[in-house]
Structure 1
């Protein structure tokens, strides 16, 4: 499906609305473009309510928005699932698709947003896009009932996500702010066995909306390396955001993130992180030596232990704004990593 010369509408090249038992498979979608900030082109768009929808083996590329800086960069998606009805979308499967060379403006290559209860995102390749790769979203007012306005009960597994960067995107200018995988207000999600590299951030767990929380997310057995900023970051990027709570970060391999020396640790805790567990991770820093960074004091109940640290140079940790270059001092003064080791 080639959108060249087609008049764009604010919807998908393929749209599924209030439907069930649908499979979209084996298609190529390209050149579905707009220069208007008032139009959001989407490769495949699922909305309303329904169940048992499969999006599998499609290739979506070289499409999106060219709206300029004055228009805020516009918006576009490769695949978007919007639960915007009182009844949820559930049993959504997105597998073995390739999304690349997408011009996304302020939006994401793949988005699952609102009243979506039960999804699998598996074995996709998402690469070379100018904003977030995979985004699971809540609290944006997508669902009519605020109590249901969170994508939830999902698995993100065995995906490859790389070369995701907002740098040069008209909506962001020269900011490195795009995550490979982002949970922005979602809950009850497993992020397992993904390969995530050469993005701005590797994995981000946060809520951009004050009062909202990303919660009960397990991040495990992922390989996260060579991202420009943090490999994994938790919490809001400033004090006007929501919180990250009851998440488990375990048995991941983080290698030489903070590649552009932006001041982040391999793992970064930002604003309002509560009761999260970071354990049994294999963390190898680059020559900057930054292991864990945490500038904010709004941090309570987090457990950090049984991690394995190594670095090519002096190792550093920051906790509640205090920086440590001595592992034993960091352990004793923070209570963190009492059973961890440094080599």
Structure 2
């Protein structure tokens, strides 16, 4: 379905389900149409309460679009990416389920599917909020190739053929209060940063996130150059490799501070200043059940400095003499 009108809202009626199913329909792999819903060159478009599934290309594709909202929708089963928005400005991606996409890459054929589960390409001014992004065969959330000026917050991003969140040549991005876990593949990290197409990217803030169970580590720098990356007040635990690591490329002028890094190593990292990180047992309430709030006596309590105004749960910081290190402020 090509959207040909600006200022258009497609919304399911309250209590009703609207399904757009690409099974046995266009776009085919030979079609020039790149999405089951295509909004190229459109402005002020809202898609709400839709199920978009089984596209033989992308689920939703919007090139050179602006002022676009996608909310309360399910995007699933696309052969290529679930959602791609590129070469424009102004997007709100809110409260969606994005899962089972990139099936062309199933079985480990990385690159066989075009783009990722949720991709922003050379895009500015965006919010990606309160989405569940899971079980996709490429990266989960990918902001890349000059994307800038946006936030990725309060999402659950898991079991993607990761990194679960990928920042590739993007700048001025804030990643906060996400749950990021169980990336697939031995090298896949919770959050990956790279500059695959050359140049340097900068000014990325990563804070208040809970990151665990990713085989490739918590926060991983893969290739290219980054500067001014701030990793602070995160709880990073039980990842297969280091809490933060630089595998290749270079990082400069960056800080990792006030993080809990437990059951994954955190040591000297080229280009990073390390401050007040807790690597001893932080005394989680019940890590086995996913409760990584702090118990009394934790070495992280009141030990931080210069914290965000709220914690992972949105509660005010600090309580007590100082802010608690990690994603949660104990009450």
The normalised TM-score by structure 1 is: 0.70
Q: Could you say what secondary structure the match of 1:111 adopts?
A: strand
The correspondence for 1:231, drawn from 190, 195, 209, is 190
Match of 1:111?
A: 84
Match of 1:340?
A: 277
Residue 316, structure 1, aligned to residue 265, structure 2: yes
How do 1:273-292 residues align onto structure 2 when only pairs under 5 Å count?
273-286=226-239, 288-292=240-244
Higher share in strand: 1
Q: Could you say what secondary structure the match of 1:179 adopts?
A: coil
Q: CA deviation at 1:297?
A: 4.5
Q: Could you say what secondary structure the match of 1:103 adopts?
A: coil
Q: Distance in 2 between matches of 1:135 and 1:242?
A: 20
Residue 77, structure 1, aligned to residue 64, structure 2: no
1:254-273 superposed Cα distances (whole Å, 9 cap, x missing partner) = 01111xxxxx2211012211
Q: Distance in 2 between matches of 1:33 and 1:235?
A: 34
Residue 197, structure 1, aligned to residue 192, structure 2: no
The correspondence for 1:44, drawn from 37, 41, 46, is 37
How do 1:255-274 residues align onto structure 2 when only pairs under 5 Å count?
255-258=212-215, 264-270=216-222, 271-274=224-227
Task: Let me know the Cα RMSD of the aligned residues.
Answer: 2.0
The correspondence for 1:28, drawn from 16, 19, 22, is 19
The correspondence for 1:58, drawn from 50, 53, 57, is 50
Residue 93, structure 1, aligned to residue 69, structure 2: yes
- Cα 1:335–1:193, aligned 2, differ >3 Å: closer, same or farther? closer
- Cα 1:241–1:37, aligned 2, differ >3 Å: closer, same or farther? farther
Residue 136, structure 1, aligned to residue 120, structure 2: yes
1:52-110 superposed Cα distances (whole Å, 9 cap, x missing partner) = x110111011221xxxxxxxxxxx21011111xxxxx4331100110111111xxx210
The normalised TM-score by structure 2 is: 0.72
Q: Could you say what secondary structure the match of 2:77 adopts?
A: strand
Q: CA deviation at 1:41?
A: 4.5
Q: Could you say what secondary structure the match of 1:118 adopts?
A: strand
C-alpha contact (below 8 Å) 2:27/2:36 kept by paired residues: no
**Gaps spanning 5+ residues in structure 2: where?**
13-17, 103-112, 281-331
Q: Distance in 1 between matches of 2:84 and 2:34?
A: 13
Residue 157, structure 1, aligned to residue 129, structure 2: yes
How do 1:120-135 residues align onto structure 2 when only pairs under 5 Å count?
120-130=92-102, 132-135=116-119
Q: Distance in 2 between matches of 1:38 and 1:243?
A: 35
C-alpha contact (below 8 Å) 2:34/2:61 kept by paired residues: no
Match of 2:308?
A: none
Q: CA deviation at 1:35?
A: 5.4
Q: Distance in 1 between matches of 2:199 and 2:221?
A: 13
Q: Could you say what secondary structure the match of 1:63 adopts?
A: coil
C-alpha contact (below 8 Å) 2:84/2:120 kept by paired residues: yes
Q: CA deviation at 1:334?
A: 6.7
Q: Distance in 1 between matches of 2:117 and 2:98?
A: 6
1:14-73 superposed Cα distances (whole Å, 9 cap, x missing partner) = x123x322111233111135654454441211122432x110111011221xxxxxxxxx
C-alpha contact (below 8 Å) 2:218/2:244 kept by paired residues: yes
Q: CA deviation at 1:159?
A: 0.2
